[in-house]
Amino acid sequence: MASGSTQITLGNIYQASLRDGARGVIQFTKGDTNLSVYGSLDDVTYILIEAFTASAIKEIALPLYVAVVVGSTAQYAKASLPGASFSTSTFFINETK
């Protein structure tokens, strides 16, 4: 993966630096599991940004905290974020600078 990219894995919450406009490029590579990206400003409540069912690269406005999970509920408390394996699917994020 390109320099500066971070792979978000099960249980890993990405904390954005929020420099230069708080934008990021994400890459979801669909294996055998659909993934959803969630964002939070308070690291307590995570709100669904987008559910991915096919491989995609796109730019998003970054919240302070980003989590990726299996599931697509509208929101989760941090303590309730699902712990299901990503299996062969992968998710990367790269803050634009």
Q: Where are the domains of the chain?
A: 6-91
Rounded to two decimals, the pTM is 0.91
- Beta-sheet strand order (sheet of 56-61): 6-7, 90-95, 23-29, 56-61
Tens-digit pLDDT profile for residues 14-70? 999 876 667 899 999 999 999 999 999 999 999 999 999 999 999 999 999 999 999
Q: Is residue 13 within 8 Å of residue 67, measured between CB atoms?
A: yes
> Is residue 74 scored above 80 in pLDDT?
yes
Q: Nearest Cα to 85, choosing from 5, 6, 12?
A: 12
